[in-house]
Amino acid sequence: MTLLMGGVAYDPKVLTIWDGFRAWLRRQGLDFDYVLYSHYERQVEDLAAGHIHAAWNSPLAWLRSERLAAARGRTVRSAVMRDTDRDLTSVVVVRADSPLASLADLSGRTVGVGAVDSPQATLIPLSFLRRSGAADVRVRRFDVGVGLHGDHIGGERDAARALLAGEVDAACMIDGNHLLFGQEGTLPAGATRILGQTGPYDHCTMAIVDTAPAAEAEEFVRLLESMSYADPEVRPLLDLEGLKQWVPGRTSGFGPLTRAVDETGFYDAAGAVTAREYDP
Amino acid sequence: MSAPLDLGFLGLDQGAHLLIRRALRTVDAGGRITVTGGAPGLGAHLRAWARREGHGFAEVPGRTATWALVRGSAEADRWAGAERAGGAGPDGIVARPPAHWGLAARGSLVEAGGPPTRFEFDDRDVVWADLAPRLYAHAAAAQWDPATAVDWTADAALPADVEAAVVQVMTYLVENEQAALVIPAGLLARVHPHFREVQQLLAVQAADEARHMEVFTRRALLHGSEMGTSSVGGRTSLATLLTEPDFSLASFLLSVLGEGSFLSLLAFLERHAPDPVTAQVTRLARVDEARHVAFGVAHLEHQGSVDPALRGRLRAAIERRHDVLADTAGLNADVFDALVVLAAGAWTPEAIARGHAAVQELQHAMDDGRRQRLARLGFPPDEAAELSALHTRNFM
């Protein structure tokens, strides 16, 4: 039976990546195919409905697929993830000359965040700020790629630019993007200061629904984990997808996002979309 | 634990990764280093950088501004299947460089994988000549500047009909040099870059022809604004050169036979030039062309030594081109007449007779040169004479 995986086309490279993986997986004997979605919500709905067997999910999509599946009496598992999906952090950044000394000082101030559905640049850091004593924060959202769960870097970059332009008092972004923005010059070296850093959390994961063909699903995970960075055939694909090694999936790193989703009512317990101003 | 790597106040957005990579290379995969530093945000950046590079990251308990990195295997993995693209020098050339070496410098360490390139001339025995590196060095050293190598002010006012003859010959030379530029330029793009010196030589050859086109055009327009004529016969003859897809046969027809014949023509023009500029531009071009002929002969000598069937193919190429051109006019009649006028130097019956005889001598000299070069390639004298006679009447 064909194992069918869903992926979200957040960038044209997604086609290159999964076409390449598809060809490689099929050469290893796995009957594998994939479909691409324009946003995560339809992908996880199709996963829970059993229209696809696996979904390459954002962390937010993972949470929703868990809830949607449970509401139908099904289960999904976090089967495999990239080595780079583990232990990420987000940072809250201010201009270097800002008088703000602590996260609590952001009370009443304007904070620039990413898209409404970005775990790393909106949901997790805003939850972190609430718990750090920053009350009545005015949020300025940079909604780029809504429905892509923050996969599109544009919102974070716009927030960083707004920080530099003095339009916001602080900006939230993933740790690696703060480094990237410094290296590419969006944020000149020394122009900003990290005011706070969240605890570590996990990012994407391959969700597999329990109605998937068991043998094919097992083989899929086994083959992904067997991909070696020393293999010149898959190395360019791993580089494009941003990993060195596929590692076993886990759920221990989704706590901060679960808390953020529940605090804001982004999804309800059954997985329905209840977020305001969210229309992917 | 060894002393931590102290980055001072250097951040990862300012190049600190260079120091960190260098330190990580001192330990094996799985080995650990510690890093300290005072750059703002260094801890957050180190965590992100290590994750992206496939290294482990941890905070060091009880130590401020100090972090541990565990070297990952990605760098070793990336270069695990790498190989050297032969050796750097000409003695490092391999017989059949693989397509995936592509544009990699010869002798470089080539990461495994990557897209195959389509350089179809990838057989040493087809493209290489041991003389190529020396010829290239000579060619590079012998480049001249058209603006200064020719004394364009060395004016000699010529009678109008002699000037017209010069213009006609220059027009013909430009047309032929354009063919001589397009052919090596087309060939060099199909040669595997592993045979670097052959590409370089062909590139300089094309650059030579570019200069020849310039100086011949400039001489044609030195006293007027109109070029001479271009005949169907001449262009038909050159067109047969452009359509030859085989590296060796194209090189044979163009360099050995065509440019070989041009050596005699350019020497003739230098000798009978009615003005100093014509003498200078034909001399400069002849020196360059001699190099092109030398490579063509050397390359075919090398190939003939490893491929006994080569001579048969060369013969067939001459015969094929002759058959295609059998019913065409060949040399532009205007060009022939202009050559007679230049060699005559005056409009008396005696002078014209002298000029006509000189052009016939030129044709004999071209024939002699072709036969000698064919003999170098191993053709017996009678066959060389027979094949030389089949060469196009257009000279090139």
Together in a domain, A207 and A80: yes
Q: Do A87 and B47 touch (CB under 8 A)?
A: yes
Strand A170-174 versus strand A110-113 pairing type: parallel
For tokens 């060949």, name the residue.
Answer: B330
* CA B284/CA B218 separation, integer angstroms: 14
Together in a domain, B43 and B163: no
B243 part of a folded domain: yes
B355 part of a folded domain: yes
A279 part of a folded domain: no
Report the percentage of chain B scoring pLDDT > 90. Answer: 87
Task: Find the residue in B nearest to A185 (Cα).
Answer: B13
> Please, which contacts does A228-233 make with residues 24 or more away whose CB atoms are closer than 8 Å?
A228/B77, A229/B54, A229/B73, A229/B74, A229/B77, A229/B78, A230/B76, A230/B77, A230/B78, A230/B80, A230/B81, A232/B81, A232/B111, A232/B112, A232/B113, A232/B114, A233/A24, A233/B113
Task: Find the residue in B nearest to A229 (Cα).
Answer: B77
Report the percentage of chain B scoring pLDDT > 70. Answer: 100
Chain B residues close to A87, C-beta within 8 Å: 47, 51, 57
Task: Find the residue in B nearest to A176 (Cα).
Answer: B48
Query: How many separate helices (H) and strands (E) can be counted in chain B?
Result: 16, 6
Would you tell me which residues 50-109 of chain A have a C-beta closer than 8 angstroms to some C-beta of chain B?
83-84, 86-89, 91, 96
Domain that holds residue B16: 5-76
The shortest C-alpha distance from A69 to chain B (Å) reads 31
Domain end among A171, A197, A223: A197
Together in a domain, B344 and B268: yes
Together in a domain, A210 and A80: yes
Together in a domain, B69 and B185: no
B394 part of a folded domain: no
Q: Do A232 and B77 touch (CB under 8 A)?
A: no
Q: Is the CB of residue A179 less than 8 Å away from at least one CB of chain B?
A: yes
Together in a domain, A63 and A143: no
For tokens 């001192």, name the residue.
Answer: B26
B54 part of a folded domain: yes
Query: How many separate helices (H) and strands (E) can be counted in chain A?
Result: 9, 11
A:B CB pairs within 8 Å: 82
Report pLDDT for B178.
Answer: 96
Report pLDDT for B331.
Answer: 86
By Cβ distance, the residue of B14, B47, B81 closest to A175 is B47
Task: Give residue-wise pLDDT tens across range B57-73.
Answer: 999 999 999 999 999 99
> Please, which contacts does B72-80 make with residues 24 or more away whose CB atoms are closer than 8 Å?
B72/A244, B72/B29, B73/A229, B73/A244, B73/B29, B73/B30, B74/A229, B74/A244, B76/A230, B76/B29, B77/A228, B77/A229, B77/A230, B77/A235, B77/A244, B78/A229, B78/A230, B78/A235, B78/B111, B79/B109, B79/B111, B80/A230, B80/B112
Together in a domain, B154 and B60: no
Q: Is the CB of residue A190 less than 8 Å away from at least one CB of chain B?
A: yes
> Starting at the edge strand that comes first in sequence, how are the strands of the sheet with A205-209 ordered?
A32-37, A3-8, A54-57, A205-209, A76-82, A246-248
Q: Cβ(B55)–Cβ(B70) under 8 Å?
A: yes
Task: Quickly list H helices, chain A.
Answer: 13-27, 40-48, 59-71, 124-131, 154-164, 175-184, 214-226, 235-241, 255-264
Calculate the average pLDDT of chain B.
94
A25 part of a folded domain: yes
Q: What angle do CA B197, B200, B202 make, to 5 degrees?
A: 110
Chain A residues close to B45, C-beta within 8 Å: 175, 178-179, 182
Q: Is the CB of residue A197 less than 8 Å away from at least one CB of chain B?
A: yes
* CATH code of A9's domain: 3.40.190.10
Together in a domain, B58 and B100: no
Count of domains observed in chain B? 3
Together in a domain, A193 and A97: yes
Together in a domain, A74 and A212: yes
Q: What is the DSSP string of B38-52?
A: -STTHHHHHHHHHHH
Neighbours of A230 (CB within 10 A): 16
Domain that holds residue A180: 90-197
- Return the higher-pLDDT residue of A3 and B130: A3
A176 part of a folded domain: yes
Q: Cβ(A262)–Cβ(A255) under 8 Å?
A: no
Is residue B329 scored above 90 in pLDDT? no
Q: Is the CB of residue A16 less than 8 Å away from at least one CB of chain B?
A: no
* CATH code of B48's domain: 3.30.110.40
B395 part of a folded domain: no
pLDDT in tens, chain A (280 residues): 999 999 999 999 999 999 999 999 999 999 999 999 999 999 999 999 999 999 999 999 999 999 999 999 999 999 999 999 999 999 999 999 999 999 999 999 999 999 999 999 999 999 999 999 998 999 999 999 999 999 999 999 999 999 999 999 999 999 999 999 999 999 998 899 999 999 999 999 999 999 999 999 999 999 999 999 999 999 999 999 999 999 999 999 999 999 999 999 999 999 999 999 999 9
Average pLDDT of the residues in B39-63: 96
Q: Do A232 and B112 touch (CB under 8 A)?
A: yes
Together in a domain, A31 and A58: yes
Q: Is the pTM of this model over 0.90?
A: no
Together in a domain, B268 and B131: yes
Q: Cβ(B50)–Cβ(B11) under 8 Å?
A: no
Report pLDDT for B1.
Answer: 56
Q: Do B11 and A89 touch (CB under 8 A)?
A: no
Domain end among A164, A179, A197: A197
| Out of B36-40, B47-51, B323-327, least confident range | B323-327
* Residue B394 pLDDT class (50, 70, 90 cuts): confident
Count of domains observed in chain A? 2
B117 part of a folded domain: no
* Residue B393 pLDDT class (50, 70, 90 cuts): confident
* CATH code of B282's domain: 1.10.620.20
Report pLDDT for B31.
Answer: 97
Together in a domain, B148 and B102: no
Task: Give residue-wise pLDDT tens across range B201-253.
Answer: 999 999 999 999 999 999 999 999 999 999 999 999 999 999 999 999 999 99
Chain B residues close to A83, C-beta within 8 Å: 51, 54
Q: Cβ(A202)–Cβ(A86) under 8 Å?
A: yes
